[in-house]
Structure 1
Amino acid sequence: MTPGDVLVTRSYRVTRADLVRYAGASGDFNPIHWSDRVATGVGLPGVIAHGMFTMALAARAVAEWTDGAEVADLGAKFTNPVVVPDDDDGVEVTVAGTVKSVEDGLTTLALEVTCQGQKVLGLPKAVVRG
Structure 2
Amino acid sequence: MQISSDGQLLTTSLIITFRGRILEVNDIIIDTGSSHTVISPDILEEIGVVYEYGDNIYEAYGIGGSVPIYTKIMDEIQIDTFIVKDIEVDVGILPKDHKGLLGLDILLTYNFIRPSTFISSLYKAIILYLRIYLQKITFNSL
Band the TM-score falls in, shorter-chain normalisation: 0.3 to 0.5
Q: Which has the higher contact order (CA 8 A, sep 6+)?
A: 1
Larger Rg: 2
User: TM-score of the superposition, structure 1-length normalised?
Assistant: 0.34
User: TM-score of the superposition, structure 2-length normalised?
Assistant: 0.32
